[in-house]
Structure 1
């Protein structure tokens, strides 16, 4: 068999919590501007500019996407903030997975427990392709939630058919 390479991009959905954070950021920027006006009126314009830029920067950082790259059994997940800032958040061989199943799979729910840390690289919505994988990373038992497409699932199944339980 030749090399396997698949990529997928998953956008994190905005939630009501994200909306509340945005509102708090805007409120904080207004408070900073008013405080500057009240205490040091000479720097009001400068303070408004800094507060506005800071609020804009923080709000833009809530725009998150995850890119899954599956290459010959290695799953790399990058977090992309505001379509410009990329950071590798995890790199793991799928052969290290103890189990992988749909997050709502009642038949394997007991196998998806007992973890110390959760890594959520999904859109935030539970879909038919929202899976959880259990593995050890940095001496911690980790539950990773992600949304592999059909091609990535096939690639993972090819390598760990007895550990992957595909939702029917």
Structure 2
């Protein structure tokens, strides 16, 4: 049994919006604590604020996991290092091309209005790849950062669909 398998995990860089939300949540939790200390009817509001912060704060930490198994690539979102959700699953029979982000091989697709799914880390030093695929009757542009092992497996399975330049 010659099964091709590779996986990679990237942590999403915190954006200005997520940093701002974290600061607001910390301020909110302090306000909630002071409302509880104040007592009376305000303590219920303080408890509600603390519960909301406790629930939503971990969801701001996002990682993406890519799993390649025999021509099928899964994109999973991991929130708070505990909750996993499959965001997208594509079969390489649906893929038109896979190439590095600024590749000349993608020039034919720049004029098209494609729905973009970004599963990259957003780091400036990263080298994302782009997949143009037909999924659910529409063309998608998928950004992700495969490992070297995953790239080798994908090239082995679908060599004509992967461009290196």
The two structures, once aligned, show a CA RMSD in angstroms of 2.7
Alignment counterpart, residue 106 of structure 2, candidates 104, 108, 112: 108
Q: Identify the residue that residue 9 of structure 1 maps to in structure 2.
A: 9
Q: Is the 8 A contact 1:29 1:55 kept in 2?
A: yes
SS at match of 2:93: helix
Q: Identify the residue that residue 139 of structure 1 maps to in structure 2.
A: 137
Q: TM-score, normalised by structure 2?
A: 0.84
Q: Identify the residue that residue 72 of structure 1 maps to in structure 2.
A: 70
Query: Gaps (5+ residues) in structure 2?
Result: none
Alignment counterpart, residue 124 of structure 1, candidates 106, 109, 122: 122
Equivalent pairs, count: 165
Q: TM-score, normalised by structure 1?
A: 0.83
Summarize deviations over 1:136-160 as a string: whole Å, max 9, x none: 1122211000000111111111222
Partner Cα separation in structure 2 for residue 111 and residue 117 of structure 1: 12
SS at match of 1:136: strand
Query: Gaps (5+ residues) in structure 1?
Result: none
Q: Which moved more, 1:118-127 or 1:138-147?
A: 118-127
Partner Cα separation in structure 1 for residue 107 and residue 73 of structure 2: 23
Structure 1 residue 126, shift from structure 2 partner: 4.5
2:66 is the counterpart of 1:48: no
